Amino acid sequence: MSVPKKFNETVNLKNRVESLNDLTFYTVRYDFKLTENYKENLHDEFDVDTEITGIKEVSGLNEEQALAKIENWFTVLTDRNILESFDIKSIESRSFYETLKDKKILDIISEKNPQ
């Protein structure tokens, strides 16, 4: 995961946490189809004759950086002859703060550090 430049330059813990608010998490929903060669190498218990829907979370300082990471990931899988095709269905973004709140981490931090 990348962190904002200010994070490493900041000594004060409170300022470090605040600098992370520049970080955004992007949740990507996509469909993909595996190549025939790759499907043949999978264990028999996996039935992958149809398209598969997946979810991947990446972090980035902006949407451009996140999209570059996602495209690179799909390019590598395609180049390695794992994916036949893919289709990005949606991309949702959440700030660092919203992610902590959604995952109930803020509740834990508040209990450990009462004001």
Residue 7, pLDDT above cutoff 70: no
Task: Tell me how many domains the chain contains.
Answer: 1
Query: Domain of 95?
Result: 23-108
- CA 105, CA 98: separation in Å to the nearest integer? 10
Residue 36 lies in a domain: yes
Task: Give φ, ψ of 24 to 5 degrees.
Answer: -125, 140
Least confident of 14-18, 30-34, 84-88: 14-18
Q: What is the pLDDT of residue 78?
A: 92
The DSSP element (H or E) to which 33 belongs, if any, is: strand 24-34
49-98 pLDDT tens trace: 657 788 888 888 788 888 899 999 999 999 998 888 889 899 899 888 88
> 106 burial class (0-12, 13-18, 19+ CB within 10 angstroms)?
middle
pTM: 0.64
Distances (CA, A) of 101 to 24, 50, 112: 13, 36, 15
Close Cβ partners of 33 (under 8 Å, ≥ 6 residues apart) = 51, 52, 83, 84, 85, 86
Residue 33 lies in a domain: yes
Alpha carbon 51 to chain centroid distance? Answer: 21
Residue 3, pLDDT above cutoff 90: no
Residue 30 lies in a domain: yes
Residue 12 lies in a domain: no
Q: What is the pLDDT of residue 103?
A: 82
